[in-house]
Amino acid sequence: MENKTSTPSEIIENKIFLIRRKRVMFDRDLAILYGVETRTLNQAVKRNIDRFPEDFMFQLNSSEFRAWKSQIVISNSEKMGLRKMPYVFTEQGVAMLSSVLKSKRAIQVNIQIMRTFTKIREMIISNKELRLKMEALERKYDNKFQVVFDAIKGLLLAQAEEKSSIDNKKIGFKIRK
């Protein structure tokens, strides 16, 4: 039974970015999903800052912010709210937000976000396993094909030697003196 406050995982997936080799969500995107203002979300976090170490939440620096802006299309209305460098939350930070924002909507959205992070992690693991299997197959077949290549090379060398021995035989007439 779907809840009216549920958010499709595709929307959440599109709000997850890779910054500092961590999958993060922006404070403003989380605020929209939770149905609160960004300012309200950040105030709640600042009141409970001990719950958010740097591996849970961090503020972008200007170069990270420029890189993020260059990767996505941002309309002017979206840029207007960005007077400060935004905060981003890792998966653990998003989980901690549920203890800070205590609304039913925040809890439901948090569950969806956690499921989405898990889905992404499982996809990455499965892709890694697939890549490792492909590499193992390549090595296996590289070894088998090496035998074939060696046999072909041997035939080519034998053919080249045979041809060179034919070339050494002189063709034509000998003049006796």
**Residue 108 forms part of a structural domain:** yes
**Residue 76 forms part of a structural domain:** yes
Mean pLDDT of 134-144: 74
**Residue 114 forms part of a structural domain:** yes
Using 50, 70 and 90 to split pLDDT, how confident is the model at 95? confident
- We report the CATH number of the domain holding residue 24 as 3.10.260
**Residue 88 forms part of a structural domain:** yes
**Residue 170 forms part of a structural domain:** no
| Structural domains counted in the chain | 1
**Residue 54 forms part of a structural domain:** yes
Using 50, 70 and 90 to split pLDDT, how confident is the model at 1? very low
pLDDT value of position 3:
44
Q: Which residue has the tokens 């890549």?
A: 131
Q: 80 versus 82: which is more confidently predicted?
A: 82
Mean pLDDT of 105-129: 82
pLDDT value of position 77:
47
Total Cβ atoms within 10 A of residue 118: 11
pLDDT value of position 59:
92
**Residue 150 forms part of a structural domain:** no
Q: How is residue 69 written in tokens? A: 């802006």
Q: Identify the domain containing residue 74 by its residue range.
A: 9-129
Say which DSSP state 60 is in: P
**Are 114 and 30 in contact, with CB atoms under 8 Å apart?**
no
**Residue 136 forms part of a structural domain:** no
